[in-house]
């Protein structure tokens, strides 16, 4: 077989972006996939989780209406039917957005793949040779070292997969969640809203410690108000299976030993790179201490003809472990590999959202990061009670925080916890990309009443007491 121009390990968003760019350049592509075409996002990550999170929100709001005058309804749901519609949606998206894109220049090889030399891969015993390679294998759930975990059935974020044994088909009565990151929070709230008794065990002093310090207590309060038990400073010592088939989690919580019982256990302690058992050492590709592939600014690895992009490179180029970042970078990496170009990616402005309710959205620097980088920081935090839209729809949970350089007035970062924060954050991201100042955000005319007006109000708060503004008034 004639060598391919580009062989890609993986078939997720990074890989497909690279394959499409390669095909547009008239090159031939071999793509490998050890599980299901499309990778994590479409099959067991972004798409299925947001589908079921929204279903849980509809169910919860029907039973807990925000408006006086609306009576709670005894809405019923069929979890099995929800899983089936989720699977159908995943199948539809995989067909339309991945399978249908394949053409005669892109060939997919199913099965575990790994380097057997610097110039060839083996896929299910088949040898695939190529002139250039791209490692885009992404990440997978981390399984921590906990006494007894190897003898207890447990779930990971792969519980939302489709057609695999890891898929959760029945709703448990109770769920223990080890971890307090975005996956733990999104899924923990989702299951609680479906009626599951949920306990989250976070080993740190608070939730989401890398975010602005106001975020953790705000979202913890929301979860606790909905009935989620949030245990901080919880060091899990061991897990055991009980007589009824459930799980007992033995943990030190704020220095006191506790045993938490649950029907099922979800381990959500982060993700690790999928770089083991793919023969990187045989190709001369170096990884860091955590297993992420080391790349230069052009996505080239320590082997000159091998590139890597997406989650598998971690934060080496200042990016985020996120589907859109991988999709953006995959095309750049492919063009560099195939044309000899030396393009780099600008990860300065990358908006991010955690799909709890309310959503947590961020872009740019936090206050602590701005100070660390040497800025004389000027920051303002405005509660959602000052945003007319939030009051109008009776959902004033959360806040917006704007971080600016005190000398230039340039906005450096925005964090928002609130309704539709994931949509609003894109205005902030474009502002940061174009170098907007506090005055720019304050002067922009916003539609009234919208949640995006929170950015204008935050900007006005630098010079005005926003509690004394009238509707639509300028500061």
pLDDT in tens, 15-69: 999 999 999 999 999 999 999 989 999 999 999 999 999 999 999 999 999 999 9
**Would the pLDDT of 1 be above 70?**
no
Binned at pLDDT 50, 70 and 90, residue 104 comes out as confident
Domains, the chain, in order of start with CATH, read 4-38+98-141+272-339 (3.50.50.60), 149-269 (3.50.50.60), 352-468 (3.30.390.30)
pLDDT in tens, 361-391: 999 999 999 999 999 999 999 999 999 999 9
Q: Are 236 and 250 a contacting pair, CB within 8 Å?
A: yes
Packing angle of the helix pair 323-339, 13-24 (nearest 10 deg): 30
**Would the pLDDT of 472 be above 80?**
no
What local confidence, expressed as pLDDT, does residue 12 receive? 94
**Would the pLDDT of 474 be above 80?**
no
**Would the pLDDT of 14 be above 90?**
yes
What local confidence, expressed as pLDDT, does residue 28 receive? 97
Q: Strands 174-178 and 234-241: what pairing?
A: unpaired
402 CB neighbour count, 10 Å cutoff: 28
**Would the pLDDT of 263 be above 70?**
yes
Residue range 127-138: mean pLDDT, rounded: 97
What local confidence, expressed as pLDDT, does residue 327 receive? 95
What local confidence, expressed as pLDDT, does residue 475 receive? 60
Q: Average pLDDT of the chain? A: 95
The rounded percent of the chain whose pLDDT value lies above 90 is 92
pLDDT in tens, 332-365: 999 999 999 999 999 999 999 999 999 999 999 9
Residue range 167-179: mean pLDDT, rounded: 96
What local confidence, expressed as pLDDT, does residue 244 receive? 83
Binned at pLDDT 50, 70 and 90, residue 468 comes out as confident
pTM for the model = 0.95
What local confidence, expressed as pLDDT, does residue 471 receive? 73
**Would the pLDDT of 469 be above 90?**
no
**Would the pLDDT of 473 be above 70?**
no
- Can you read off the two tokens belonging to residue 342? 């030396």
**Would the pLDDT of 470 be above 80?**
no
CA distance 387 to 370: 26
């Amino acid at each position: 077989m004639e060598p391919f121009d580009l062989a890609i390990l993986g078939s997720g968003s990074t890989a497909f972006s690279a394959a499409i760019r390669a095909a547009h350049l008239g090159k031939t592509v071999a793509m490998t996939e050890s599980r299901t075409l499309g990778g994590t996002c479409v099959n067991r990550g972004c798409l299925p989780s947001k589908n079921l999170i929204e279903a849980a929100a509809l169910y919860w709001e029907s039973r807990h209406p925000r408006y006086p005058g609306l009576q709670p309804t005894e809405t019923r749901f069929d979890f099995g039917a929800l899983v089936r519609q989720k699977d159908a949606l995943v199948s539809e998206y995989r067909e339309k957005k991945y399978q249908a894109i394949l053409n005669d220049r892109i060939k997919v090889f199913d099965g575990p793949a790994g380097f057997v030399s610097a110039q060839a891969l083996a896929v299910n015993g088949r040898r695939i040779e190529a002139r250039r390679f791209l490692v885009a294998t992404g990440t997978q759930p981390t399984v921590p070292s906990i006494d007894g975990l190897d003898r207890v059935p447990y779930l990971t974020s792969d519980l939302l997969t489709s057609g695999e044994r890891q898929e959760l088909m029945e709703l448990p009565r109770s769920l223990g969640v080890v971890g307090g990151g975005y996956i733990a929070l999104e899924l923990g709230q989702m299951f609680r809203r479906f009626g599951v008794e949920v306990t989250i065990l976070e080993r740190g002093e608070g939730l989401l410690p890398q975010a602005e310090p106001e975020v953790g207590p705000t979202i913890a309060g929301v979860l606790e108000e909905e009935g989620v038990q949030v245990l901080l400073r919880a060091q899990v010592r061991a897990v055991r299976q009980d007589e009824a088939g459930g799980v007992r989690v033995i943990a030190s919580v704020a220095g006191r030993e506790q045993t938490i019982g649950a029907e099922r256990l979800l381990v959500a302690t982060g993700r690790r790179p999928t770089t083991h058992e793919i023969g990187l050492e045989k190709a001369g590709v170096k990884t860091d201490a955590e297993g992420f592939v080391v790349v230069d600014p052009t996505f080239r690895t320590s082997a000159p003809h091998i590139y890597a992009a997406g989650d598998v490179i971690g934060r080496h180029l200042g990016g985020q472990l996120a589907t859109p970042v991988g999709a953006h970078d995959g095309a750049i990496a492919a063009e560099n590999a195939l044309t000899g170009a030396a393009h780099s990616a600008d990860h300065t402005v990358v908006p991010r959202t955690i799909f709890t309710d309310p959503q947590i959205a961020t872009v740019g620097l936090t206050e602590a990061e701005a100070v660390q980088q040497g800025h004389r920081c000027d920051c303002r935090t405005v509660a959602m009670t000052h945003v007319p839209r939030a009051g109008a729809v009776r959902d004033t949970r959360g806040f917006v925080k704007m971080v600016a350089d005190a000398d230039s007035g340039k906005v450096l970062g925005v964090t928002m916890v609130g309704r539709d924060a994931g949509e609003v954050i894109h205005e902030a991201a474009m502002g940061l990309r174009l170098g907007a100042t506090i005055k720019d955000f304050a002067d922009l005319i916003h539609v009234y009443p919208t949640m995006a007006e929170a950015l204008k109000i935050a900007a006005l708060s630098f010079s005005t007491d926003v509690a004394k503004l009238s509707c639509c008034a300028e500061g």
